[in-house]
Structure 1
Amino acid sequence: MSRLWVVWLIAFLHGLASDAQAGVMTRASLQQRLPAPLVVGERDAQLPVWPIFRQDATATALAGYVFESIDFAAIPGFSGTPFNLLVALDPKGGFLDVQVLSQHEPVFLEGLGEAPLIRFAGQYQGLSLRQNIKIGSNANRGEERGSANVYIDGVAKATASVRILNQSLLSAALHVARARLGFAPGRDPALVARLRRDTYAPMHWDALLKAGLIRHARITLGTVEKAFEGSGVEQPMAGAAGETFCDLYVAYLNAPPVGRNLLSDAGWQHLLGRIDDGDHALLVIASGPYTFVGDKFVRGAVPDRLTLKQGELPLELRDLDLDDPLALPASLRGADAKVFRVIGPAGLDPAQTLDFSLRVTRDKVMVYPERISRSFALPYTLPASQLTPPDTDSKGWHGVWRSRAWELAVLTGALALLAVVLARPRWIVATPTRLARFRTGYLVFTLGFIGWFAQGQLSIVNLTALIQSARAGRDLAFFLHDPMTVALWAFVAATLVVWGRGTFCGWLCPFGAMQELVGQAARRAGIQRFKLHRALDAKLKGVKYAVLAAIIGLAVVSPTWTDRAVEIEPFKTAITLNFVRSWPFVAWALGLLLMNAVLYKGFCRYLCPLGAGLGLLGRMRLLRWIPRRSECGTPCQTCRHRCEYQAIQPGGAIVYEECFQCLDCVAIHDSPERCAPLIALRRDRVITIRPLPASIRSDA
């Protein structure tokens, strides 16, 4: 029956799938948010963006575009609902402004409040899509603000949430930049190979040619004439077919072996000062009767005879207007030599072949003149030794996993140890002292490392986010921004099938560990716990399933009410925010901990919606792994009376949905000193049978 319930729930959520949310801003509301002299224009007919103009006396210049991130990158946050950001970009891809329009992140709703999130978003102002924006140390702000790599401050306790905001913002902005600002379609400037800075070696011209750092193509008169055959514009040129029409050379000038050998030291520094980090300086030299510099070419312009493509991507070459002398061989002195720049946002990848083409155009004289062109290719591939491969997408989840590799390694080791202990518990349960010490030590690790340090507290919020994302038809990749949560859920999913709910609730829940440690301290202080009557205990254990059903229902219909309902969990207050929160939430968390001192893990057993969900999923458990004897329950009740969770029925059966896998009953089962059936079997123990006292016999 439980499996049918799970299947029905999945089908129900799938059937609720619908389109993602769209933006809500109007031209009037945008104008209110943008300061004068900025003026919002009419919404673009093809794209949900608004142009913004700057009024300057009688002139009106395009200042950029403004848009909502949710229209382009509806990446869910940890509530399952995407951030919606108001983003203003200037024509060069710089951020004029970033504002938070809406968000449902649990940590920013009540815990930290929205102020840290607003401050975080404000850091983007003045940065650019030309830069690789990373979350981390803010040390290279100020003078280094114009560099290709820039770091902005994160938000403590909300690392995963701000990374999702970062990805949402940059994905949406790149979409608009590609569509309206001429950025390369389908390419992210942060994900292309980079030129190495440590490859310089003294080399002369011929050595550069031999190394492939300079590429050469010789186009002859005969080659040109053959290309125009049958076009109607055959114009035989003076000279033999084998004579040179154009000698063409191309090179990556900002590759250190090229630039530092062809330029003087001052010229090299001048070149680096003229281009931004990530831009490409390409040297083109031509000699012969025909060159790439036409009669109408002006300095600083785009050449009309020379084109560059990479695959199907056309790239703009613009003259850098450099006059620094080049160390060229005698045969090329006096040749046309120009340095062209390709900006970083254009998406050029130096690891891929650059296809240069020299275009030759002739006029076909007719009533209506026609121009016919032919192109002569010169492919250029920079040697791999000059390149650094691109990093994995630092804007996405890959970089997050790399940055937390050591934490994941520690967690993996701890989970492996726990799996071995639970699968082979005999050594741990051999003595009560050994089990108590191991369990207490592991709970301290769970609270300190998994909870407070690594922020790995699993929560019902994870399930509501899954539901809301499924309902809106969104990708679930946002979970990958929190590697600790993903790793823990993977382990919990596997152990649910093997052992049931107890692995997480008994060993890996930081708030559960906190409760147990508080309970141990209370017992040392002499505070006595009490147990509820079995019937009342059974009824109260059903409450958490009602709480779970209510939260799931709200997740389907109302993100706002879901945000409020999940506060029944004290996890955010006690673990994520370390009790630094408004007093009602702190009082709730402390009240649950104090209740635990006299009623063992009352929240976990009676109220926790996550525990209820795991209990339902744990019904798919494959093993009844806790050993039982025929005497268990009839007549022996030792384990049942010792079970703090009241998860053993009078008949001796284990209620696995309520078992926290503490191993106490396993230790009793294996102990010749504590297990009554084993005690009865001991041959060296003699139980003396004495007759009843006379007074009792007479009463009978």
Structure 2
Amino acid sequence: MSMFSRLQPTLRLLALILLLISPLLPADSAPPPKVQEAIQALFPQATRVDAKQGDVPVYPVYQLNELLGYAFESTDHSSLQGFAGKPFHLLVGLDVDGVLTGVRVLGHHEPVFLHGMGDKALLDFVEQYRQHPLSKPVVVGGRKPDSSDGQSITQFDGISKATVSVVILNESVLQSALAVARAYLEGFTSAPLATPRMDLFEPLDWQQLLERGLVQRWLLKPDELEQRLGHSLEHYPGMVHDQAFSELFLAYLDTPMSGRNLLGEQGFARLQSSLRDGEQALLVMSRGSYRHVPEDFTAASSPSRLLLVQNGQAIELHDMDFDNGALLDSLAITPPDDLQAHIFRIKTHAAYNPAQPAQVRLNVNLQRNHLVESQLVLEHPFEPDPRLFEIHQPSAAAKPSPVWLRLWQERWWQLALLGSALLLLSLIFTFQHRISRHTRAFHLLRGGFLLFTLVFIGLYAQGQLSVVNITTLLLALVDGFDIRVFLMDPVIFVLWSFTFISLFVWGRGLFCGWLCPFGALQDLVAWLGQKLRLRQWKIAEPLHRRLQWIKYGILLVLLVSALLSQTLAERLAEVEPFKTTITLFLIRSWPFVAYALLLLGLGLFIHKFYCRYLCPLGAGLAVLGRLRLFSWLKRIDACGKPCQHCRNHCGIGAIHRDGRIDYDECIQCLECIVILHDDQQCVATISARKKAEKSQRKAGSGALIYKS
């Protein structure tokens, strides 16, 4: 007997032992410790967690050899951005029956939680997902939507100070969970709403396919790319200016009109047999300097450059490796020369509907050198002819409207009231010279509007603009602008839009003096200081002018830090007391409250101290406000020469000794216009009246002498 034969029983015994204990041993590619701990909390009975796997990435979770469900990270399935412009990083658990086992927050960038309310409110909110069936729709806060289709709806308690953030979190959870359920669970796969009409066929050549839109062409010229990049393509190796940057040809292959004409009868039949139930196929051909796949593309993988997008959701494409690289030679028609071609599989769980509009997305990544690269995301419409399909009525409820649209609908009355207030403010500024003639009425109007700004816009509607909005916009412009991120908060969006437009008409003062809730609070504090007859501290003009530059320095630091680290920028943005006073109403840890109260306390003695010297938002608006078209505040010859009444009365210190208005600092309270039109305050008017009265007295005394 050989040595090997004698060892066989022993080897078999060792193999059996390893097989039995393998579920208890840590895998080399196990989830990171933080994720492993969170998965264990979502599945307390789990004895084994496999490594992340699948085209729809998940961590399979087992109790011994029984599958309990799947854990997955939301960032693998949903790119929905939060209020700070970055997505939530969530770990979600889903059992085999389609019930959510819970949600764990692995990371986020929402300022209201990071530097405001703390994470407890967020953790309490996500706890509501535990044991919630995925088949039941979830709405967060607001009014409960209609359920006339008989489908029960669950309403979760929202967070009053973070409405936008939790709505986005909810959508991230549901989008990612549905993607996983469609891929791995029975009963969640969506049947297509359109199936190809197999009875329609007519022989066509290449030109006819193009003319009928069965093959769709997308041409990207070098000039177009250079315009988007801002410089010449000659800076990038391999880019040729005298040919198309990229010319793509796209065809949906499941219909005989396109697939059979392109592949031939045998090729079309072979393609159909290669597709699983519910799968679809897309032919992509390209030529030019930048093709749909790079030279080192690996067959049977997913292209990094190409995506299909429908209803705002990215649909991953998978190379079928059809005809093993000889696809062009096997086509039944003769396409243009120098093409590269692939057939991509669209998997069932993507729920792609070929009879509905979609877009082909080309991710352009141009390497200039080892250190510098340029990135662009380009999209082109893609929709096969709907007449090639049989359209089926959906058996499930229609796709819900976008998140941002639902938020706008729910807050319609707030937007209507805000719009009315902005219209009133526009009329006040347009007819300021007429309105300001009535001193008492104007002061009552301004006081009432500031109270509305503080209570409704700030404390109730949470419409406090912040320098964080500016840094988020800049980062969005760098990383890829998506208007939907800014539409998530309708009040903020409307205020920003109005403020941006008004900057070019009236300058920064309209917002800072009328629409800033914290500015309105400072006005209230200043009024209180006057009523208490507290001594007002006057800062000497030379020092005052130097202190004004502090807020511009703060703005510069914030903008630079935002480019380096968003987390750092969010922390530095705490120089703004807006979140503490307006968003959280002083319900916060004591250092933040003490800082906010210190600024308000200084406002009792120095008029609007924070606005004048520290506010980076005001500094940013002042920079843009220099592009204003008009200088609305009226001046007369006597202003500053010799009259100094407006200057002495200006609490913000925005009037120079010679009478000129410093529009970079002016908050457009319009008090100088009120003084100008007030016969009892304007020195020039008073002087003219006294001269007239003196002349009348002289004329009267001369008449008496003449009579006598």
TM-score, with structure 1 as normaliser? 0.63
Closer, same or farther: CA 388–641 of 1 in aligned 2, 3 Å: farther
Structure 1 contact 30–40 (Cα < 8 Å) conserved: no
Q: CA deviation at 1:435?
A: 1.8
Q: In the alignment, which residue of structure 2 is the partner of 1:103? A: 108
Q: Secondary structure at the match of 2:436?
A: helix
2:144 & 2:431 partners in 1: Cα distance?
A: 50
Of 393, 400, 410, which aligns to 2:401? 393
Higher-RCO chain (CA-CA 8 Å, sequence separation at least 6) = 1
Deviation at 1:425, TM superposition (A): 1.3
Q: Distance in 1 between matches of 2:485 and 2:95?
A: 28
User: So what's the TM-score if we normalise by structure 2?
Assistant: 0.62
1:433 aligned partner: 440
Cα displacement (A) at 1:481 = 1.7
CA distance in 1, matches of 2:141, 2:559: 36
The question of 1:584 aligning with 2:588 is answered no
Which AA in structure 2 matches 1:583?
Answer: W
The answer to whether residue 403 in structure 2 is matched with residue 403 in structure 1 is: no
Alignment of 1:248-267 (within 5 A): none
Q: Secondary structure at the match of 2:693?
A: coil
CA contact (8 A) 2:454 2:520 kept: yes
Structure 1: 5+ residue runs without aligned partners? Answer: 1-23, 141-145, 193-225, 228-306, 313-344, 353-377, 691-700
Matching residue of 2:161:
157
Aligned to 1:631: 638
User: CA-atom RMSD, angstroms?
Assistant: 3.6
User: What residue identity is the alignment partner of 2:548?
Assistant: K
Deviations 1:450-502 (A, max 9, x none): 11111111111212222333444363422222111011111101111110111
Displacement of 1:381: 6.7
Whole-angstrom CA distance in 2 between matches of 1:107 and 1:623: 37
Q: Give how far 1:308 is off.
A: 11
CA distance change for structure 1 residues 404 and 508 in 2, over 3 Å: closer, same or farther?
same
Matches of 1:106 and 1:183 in 2, distance apart? 39
Give 1:136-175 correspondences, 5 Å limit.
Answer: 136=141, 148-175=152-179
Mapping of residues 249-648 of structure 1, within 5 Å: 390=398, 392-393=400-401, 396-473=403-480, 475-648=482-655
Aligned to 1:239: none
Aligned mates of 1:497, 1:173 — CA distance in 2? 46
User: For residues 92 and 348 of structure 1, what CA distance do their matches in structure 2 show?
Assistant: 24
Query: 1:544–1:582: structure 2 CA closer, same or farther, 3 Å change rule?
Result: same
Deviations 1:101-158 (A, max 9, x none): 1122121123221011011111112223322210027999xxxxx9641111101211
* 1:158 counterpart SS class: helix
1:655 aligns with 2:662: yes
1:46 paired to 2:55:
yes
**Residue 180 of structure 2 is aligned with which of 176, 179, 197?**
176
Q: How far does residue 430 in structure 1 lie from its aligned partner after superposition?
A: 1.3
Equivalent residue letter for 2:500: A
The Cα of 1:657 is off from its aligned counterpart by 1.0
Q: Alignment partner of 1:666: what SS?
A: helix
- Cα distance in 1 between the residues matched to 2:352 and 2:54: 29
Deviation at 1:47, TM superposition (A): 4.1
* Aligned residues of 1:573 and 1:579 also touching (Cα < 8 A): yes
Q: CA deviation at 1:434?
A: 1.6
Amino acid at match of 2:634: P
| Distance in 2 between residues matched to 1:76 and 1:110, nearest whole Å | 19
Deviations 1:407-449 (A, max 9, x none): 1111111111011001111343113212211111111111110
SS in 2 for 1:530: coil
CA distance in 2, matches of 1:392, 1:430: 53
- Aligned in 2, Cα 1:346/1:94: closer, same or farther, shift over 3 Å? farther
- Say if 1:53 and 1:606 are closer, same or farther in 2 by CA, change over 3 A: same
The equivalent residue for 2:205 is none
When residues 65 and 162 of structure 1 are mapped into structure 2, their CA distance, relative to the original with a 3 A threshold, is: same
CA distance in 2, matches of 1:588, 1:520: 21
Letter in 2 for 1:42: A
Provide the rounded CA distance (Å) in 1 between the counterparts of 2:453 and 2:678: 28
- The residue type equivalent to 2:693 in the other structure is R
> Structure 1 residues 48, 470: closer, same or farther in 2, change over 3 A?
farther
The percentage of counterpart residues that share the same residue type is 41
Contact 1:38 1:53 in 2 (8 A): yes
Match of 1:135 among 101, 115, 140: 140
Change beyond 3 A, Cα 1:446–1:566:
same
Distance of aligned partners of 1:463 and 1:128 in 2 relative to their CA distance in 1, 3 Å threshold? farther
Query: What is the distance in 2 between the residues matched to 1:644 and 1:388?
Result: 63
1:579-636 deviation digits (Å, cap 9, x = unpaired) = 1111111111111111001000000110011111111111111111111223322222
Counterpart in the other structure of 1:125: 130
3-state SS in 2 of match to 1:529: coil
Seen in structure 2, the aligned counterparts of structure 1 residues 25 and 118 have a Cα distance that, compared at 3 Å, is farther
What amino acid maps onto 1:165 in structure 2?
L
Write the letter of the residue equivalent to 2:84: S
Q: Which of 112, 115, 118 is the equivalent residue of 1:113?
A: 118
Pick closer, same or farther for the CA change 1:650–1:185 going to 2, 3 Å.
farther
1:687 CA displacement? 7.6
Q: Are the equivalent residues in 1 in contact too, given 2:99–2:131 (CA < 8 A)?
A: yes
Q: Would you say the 8 A contact 1:543–1:607 is kept in 2?
A: yes
Q: Distance in 1 between matches of 2:459 and 2:683?
A: 42
Match of 1:610, as an amino acid?
A: L
Distance of 2:511 and 2:661 partners within structure 1:
17
Aligned pairs for 1:171-210 within 5 A: 171-181=175-185
**How many angstroms does 1:398 deviate by?**
1.0
Q: Which moved more, 1:578-587 or 1:179-188?
A: 179-188
Name the residue aligned to 1:698.
Answer: none
User: Per the alignment, in what secondary structure is the counterpart of residue 626 of structure 2?
Assistant: helix
2:296 corresponds to: none
Tell me which residue corresponds to 2:77: 72
SS, match of residue 154 in structure 2: strand
Native 8 Å contact 1:471 1:556 kept in 2: no
- Note the C-alpha offset of 1:45: 5.0
* Matching residue within 673, 681, 688 for 1:674: 681
Gaps of 5+ in 2: 1-28, 194-198, 201-275, 282-348, 357-388, 699-708
Query: Structure 1 residues 643, 138: closer, same or farther in 2, change over 3 A?
Result: closer
1:601 is aligned with what amino acid? K
